[in-house]
Structure 1
Amino acid sequence: MSAVFAGSSLSQISLLTMLPYAAILAVAGLGQTLVIQQRGIDMSVPAGISLAAAIVGNYTSASGLGLAGVVALAVLAGAGVGLINALVIFKLNVTPLIATLAVSTVVQGYTLAYSHGRAGTAPPEFHNFAIGTTFGVPHLFVIATVITAIVAWVVRRTMVGRRLVAVGSGAGAATVIGIRVRRYQFGAYVIAGALSGVCGVMVAGYLSSPAVFVGNDYMMASVAAGVLGGTLLSGGIASFLSTSVAAIFLSQINMLLQNRGAPFSVQLMVQAAAIAVAIGAKSLLGGVPWRKIARRQGTSPPAGTLEQDGAAEDTHDVSILKDAAVGGSTAETVSSARTERVDPTGELHQRGSDIG
């Protein structure tokens, strides 16, 4: 599409300009994907990015922390924002959308007060590294690739990651089999906040003098990257590699629109359209009678469709036990998990006992 409408967007200069922004969006999208996987949403991504960028931008050698210390402080500040989100959501029982928006507003106000409304300037050596390349590949893109690989490996290959998926798929069933659900839900928001802090560090280094609220551009974009990458808003299913690919796709679309002279408002509409198309496509695929078609052809329903999800529902608890077993009889635990899904309050079980 870029080659047809704006061939210059595929030139070496354009790609080298696009890839750092794609890398920043990819890292922000990874954090958003972690939260969406837990059936939440993080609208405080801009606040975490802006706060971290302000910390790096207002760095002075007189602080005594050193550049590495300031970078670590910025990432920890982002993680702190994520921790506050988790506390408000799970301790005060506030809806994630409202909670993260409220936290975002408070953090943005603090960022404005901390920076005194000044953008600040990142250390020259840090800026030179951020805009540099190795073998023609931008450093920020390399960093994003490494982070993507680590997150994807942890989620897919470790017990912690598998339990994180189990919690996102069904907190009730995860609780029944002994997983400490709150620990993993808190962890998802904290890690997402830390990744926002990493984004802020990357933005500050690349732009050298970022705006005070530089993170505002990434609120809708991070959600779009996660949803377009195939993450289900209902939780559980997520692909972090696909999120990073979606970030590159969205960044290339933005580059195309810029080359065509489209204003920023059009870019926002494209991001919103990408979310709508991704969700709409999932709904349309789910409305097709895949199970009947598959039965006639002797195959299985397409992966990711609602029909296929329904067909796999009976083995959902067994897969959780296989990946995140924490003791107890397999038969008893599967029975308990299924009872939790059908009768989460235990009311039906109690009535049966009374009648008996």
Structure 2
Amino acid sequence: MWGVLSILSPYFLTYNNIFNLVRQTSVIAVVATGMSFVIISGGIDLSVGSIVGVSSIIISLLMVNGVPVFGAMIITLLIAIVLGAITGIFIYEGKVPPFIASLGMMSMARGLALLLSGGQIITGLPGSFISFAQVTVLGLPMLFVVLIIVVGISFFVLSRTRFGRNVYTIGSSDEVARLSGVNMRINYYAIYMLNAFLSAVAGIMLTSRLSSGIPTSGNMYELDAIASVVIGGASLNGAEGSVFGTVIGALIMTTLRNGGNLLGVDPFWLRIATGLLIVLAVLFDQVRKKQ
């Protein structure tokens, strides 16, 4: 894709475009990394975009009202973890299907964002917070550095810890997980709390990048996150996937949009292409399993 776009557009491989492409990828890739844990465990979470939005509003309101940046971040992350725990409770204790439980949380979190903000964009954020998305480390955007840290920790957790092994075991079979001595309650809670936590991290990153709190921010991120995970090689049946594949999937999604904008492609066609990519990725997975 990069090779073709570099031929079709002289602007694609410019420093400014690659810099913006990496920043855009970083936000959605952080959300998709959390979604990786959920999908590998055999679940789904449609609330991630709304948690991005409500996190953006919460941290913005806190900072505008005088709470220090670090304190506002901690409070925002803790609230997101609580929202993730609520989703986990619905799923494990209430036996509500993950699709329905997360659909309900999607509506509640978005409604909370609109309620707290009054439907208005929140501006006047501290300069130190806004500059976070603008600074670079060794030529790399700070948002990308955050992504590297998130991916590194997530890879270690999935591949080197008992919790990571439990995620794959649960995705393979709930019954096998129980017979293997996996504490289902704790692990289900942890999976959805971690997913909400990373969605909040992405919400904070996006707020810094946009220099304001927007109640509708993160809209349709759940689609992008699921697409990134599936295109990256994960199976919606669970027990398969990796965070590195997810990052590649997120980069493909962002490149598709970025290249389309440079070439003047109608954004509605790009949305159609995104949906087609998801279907083709799942279809390829099903064919591979049959073989």
Aligned partner of 1:60 in structure 2 is: 63
Rounded to whole Å, the distance in 1 between the matches of 2:268 and 2:260 is 11
Q: Deviations over 1:272-298 (max 9, x none)?
A: 11211111112223343xxxxxxxxxx
Rounded to whole Å, the distance in 2 between the matches of 1:113 and 1:77 is 16
Runs of at least 5 residues in structure 2 that lack an aligned partner in the other structure: none
**Pairwise CA RMSD of aligned residues?**
1.5
Structural mapping, 1:275-290, within 5 Å: 275-288=278-291
Aligned partner of 1:125 in structure 2 is: 128
Aligned partner of 1:173 in structure 2 is: 176
Aligned partner of 1:250 in structure 2 is: 253
One-letter amino acid of the structure 2 residue matched with residue 113 of structure 1: L
2:146 pairs, out of 143, 146, 159, with 143
- TM-score normalised by length of structure 2: 0.94
Rounded to whole Å, the distance in 2 between the matches of 1:18 and 1:102 is 32
Rounded to whole Å, the distance in 1 between the matches of 2:282 and 2:20 is 30
| Cα shift at 1:99 | 1.4
Structure 1 consecutive aligned stretches of length 4 or more whose deviation exceeds 6 Å: none
2:231 pairs, out of 199, 216, 228, with 228
Q: Deviations over 1:307-340 (max 9, x none)?
A: xxxxxxxxxxxxxxxxxxxxxxxxxxxxxxxxxx
Aligned partner of 1:294 in structure 2 is: none
Q: Deviations over 1:214-246 (max 9, x none)?
A: 110412100100101111111111211110121
2:5 pairs, out of 2, 5, 9, with 2
Rounded to whole Å, the distance in 1 between the matches of 2:57 and 2:265 is 29
Rounded to whole Å, the distance in 2 between the matches of 1:178 and 1:60 is 44
| Cα shift at 1:160 | 2.1
Asked if the contact 2:230/2:278 (under 8 Å) is kept, the reply is: yes
Asked if the contact 2:41/2:169 (under 8 Å) is kept, the reply is: no
Asked if the contact 2:47/2:102 (under 8 Å) is kept, the reply is: yes
The question of 1:211 aligning with 2:200 is answered: no
Rounded to whole Å, the distance in 2 between the matches of 1:108 and 1:141 is 26
Rounded to whole Å, the distance in 2 between the matches of 1:44 and 1:31 is 12
Aligned partner of 2:156 in structure 1 is: 153
Q: Deviations over 1:163-199 (max 9, x none)?
A: 2222222221111121112211211111000001001
1:71 pairs, out of 63, 70, 73, with 73
Rounded to whole Å, the distance in 1 between the matches of 2:37 and 2:162 is 16
Asked if the contact 2:36/2:243 (under 8 Å) is kept, the reply is: yes
Asked if the contact 1:257/1:267 (under 8 Å) is kept, the reply is: yes
Asked if the contact 1:82/1:194 (under 8 Å) is kept, the reply is: yes
| Cα shift at 1:6 | 2.6
Aligned partner of 1:273 in structure 2 is: 276
Rounded to whole Å, the distance in 2 between the matches of 1:72 and 1:2 is 40
Residues 211/264 of structure 1: CA separation in 2 closer, same or farther (3 Å cut): farther
SS in 2 for 1:153: helix
Asked if the contact 2:63/2:72 (under 8 Å) is kept, the reply is: no
2:200 pairs, out of 183, 197, 200, with 197
How many residue pairs match? The answer is: 287
Rounded to whole Å, the distance in 2 between the matches of 1:27 and 1:69 is 21
Rounded to whole Å, the distance in 2 between the matches of 1:167 and 1:287 is 22
Rounded to whole Å, the distance in 2 between the matches of 1:235 and 1:120 is 39
Rounded to whole Å, the distance in 2 between the matches of 1:221 and 1:61 is 30
Query: Which one has the largest radius of gyration?
Result: 1
Structural mapping, 1:334-345, within 5 Å: none
| Cα shift at 1:258 | 0.9
Q: Deviations over 1:127-149 (max 9, x none)?
A: 11212112210000010011001
One-letter amino acid of the structure 1 residue matched with residue 33 of structure 2: L
Residues 284/62 of structure 1: CA separation in 2 closer, same or farther (3 Å cut): closer
Aligned partner of 2:30 in structure 1 is: 27
| Cα shift at 1:62 | 4.4
| Cα shift at 1:212 | 1.4
One-letter amino acid of the structure 1 residue matched with residue 19 of structure 2: L
Asked if the contact 2:42/2:238 (under 8 Å) is kept, the reply is: yes
Asked if the contact 1:85/1:99 (under 8 Å) is kept, the reply is: yes
Rounded to whole Å, the distance in 2 between the matches of 1:278 and 1:253 is 15
Percent identical pairs in the alignment equals: 25
Q: Which moved more, 1:186-195 or 1:267-276?
A: 267-276
One-letter amino acid of the structure 1 residue matched with residue 72 of structure 2: V
| Cα shift at 1:210 | 4.3
